[in-house]
Structure 1
Amino acid sequence: MQIRTGGPGDLSATLALLDGAVAWLTARGRTGQWGTEPWSSRPAAVDRTRRYTEEYLLRVAEVGGEVAGVCVLAEEPPQFTPPAGEPELYIRLLVTDRARSGSGIGAALVDDAVAEARRRGVGLLRVDCYAGGNGRLVRQYEALGFTRAEPFTVPRAGGDPWPGQVLQRRV
């Protein structure tokens, strides 16, 4: 596996990973996180992903020359999460190829994010994730060395609020 810096040219591969993740979650009846519609069919989601590839640090994991995962890093959290009160590096997106699940791609991208935080002299790495579904995703991040910080919710028009969890890792 190789990890490289990406950019706008990686938009279609990033959207394909997100579409794959939505399909994988939907096939398992886990629709609370991202719904059932492909990421690439939702204009607001495509626009957000485009901004990620243009405005933030996009790190791309490749296996055999194919994109197997991406991690988007920013120096500020999304507006729906509380600020850290200190300099931080924030994982805005982490998604891997579901066909390669369990192969360590996500862990390698998190390790890469830790190295980037150290390179910048930042002592805190944070991420947020879906806290529903019995907390599976929260536990995955805990297995990667993160600890729970603040829970939060994001209001959704016509539906229940989206439950989230901010996690942090000292580096």
Structure 2
Amino acid sequence: MQISLAVGDDLADILQICDETVAWLVSNGRPRQWGSRPWSERPAQVERIATLIKDKNTWVARSGTQVIGVIAATDSAPDDVSPAPGKEKFIRLFATDRSTRGSGVGKDLLLHLESESARAQATCIRVLCYTGAGNGLRRYYENFGFTEIEPYSIGKDGIPTWFGALMQRTIS
């Protein structure tokens, strides 16, 4: 497996991984996590990922020529997230091909991001983590050294529809 900076030609492969993730989440009763429509059919998501690639904020894991995972992180959090205690990398996208589950691709991508973050002199990596459906994703991040900073939710008309947590890993 190799990890490299994503290029424009990787967009279709990244969207395929995201579409497969959406399908898996929906089939497991978790449509709120990433929505229920494939990201390749959602122009805002396509543009968001294309911009992350163009801005050199996205890395892909490859097995041969096949993209098997992706992680993207920017230098700041969304506007509605509390500020970091110092310079940060904020995860905007993290997904792996479902066929690689348990193989360490996700761990390797997170370790690569940690190395890139240290090189950029960031003091922490942060992410908004979905906490529904039994907290499996939260446990994944906690096993990698992330801790919850505060609860986070997104809602419509004052009613929360997406429950999560702002999580942080300090870079030493």
- Structure 2 length as normaliser, TM-score? 0.92
What displacement does 1:77 show?
A: 0.8
Deviations 1:16-55 (A, max 9, x none): 1100101111121221201221111112222222222122
Task: Classify 1:127/1:27 alpha carbon distance in 2 versus 1 (closer, same or farther; 3 Å).
Answer: same
For the 8 Å contact 1:131–1:164, the answer to whether it is kept is: yes
SS of the residue 2:34 aligns to:
coil
1:33-44 maps to which residues of 2 (within 5 A)? 33-44=33-44
Is the counterpart of residue 170 in structure 1 residue 152 in structure 2? Answer: no
- Residue identity opposite 2:106 in structure 1: G
Q: CA deviation at 1:137?
A: 0.9
Cα deviations across residues 49-103 of structure 1 (Å, max 9, x unaligned)? 2222122411110012210001102110122321113111111111100111111
- Asked whether 1:17 is paired with 2:17, we answer yes
1:1-171 correspondence runs (5 A): 1-156=1-156, 160-171=160-171
Seq. identity, %: 39
Contact preservation (8 Å) 2:20, 2:97:
yes
Report the TM-score, using the length of structure 1 for normalisation. Answer: 0.92
Q: Secondary structure at the match of 2:127?
A: strand
2:153–2:160 CA contact under 8 A, matched in 1: no
Contact 1:8–1:53, Cα closer than 8 Å, also in 2: yes
Which is further off, 128-137 or 63-72? Answer: 128-137
- Inter-partner Cα distance in structure 1 for 2:114 and 2:155: 31
Gaps of 5+ in 1: none
Say if 1:32 and 1:133, in contact at 8 Å, map to a contact too: no
Mapped contact 2:128–2:152 kept (Cα < 8 A): no
SS at match of 1:33: helix
**Secondary structure of 1:59 counterpart:** strand
In the alignment, the residues of structure 2 paired with residue 156 and residue 43 of structure 1 have an alpha-carbon distance, to the nearest angstrom, of 21
Contact in 1 for aligned 2:3/2:62 (Cα 8 Å): yes
For the Cα contact (< 8 Å) 1:56–1:73, is it kept in 2? no
Moved over 3 A (4+): 156-160
Aligned pair in 2 of structure 1 residues 131, 46: CA closer, same or farther (>3 Å)?
same
**Structure 1 residues 159 and 150: alpha-carbon distance in aligned structure 2, compared to 1, 3 A threshold:** closer
Residue correspondences, number: 171
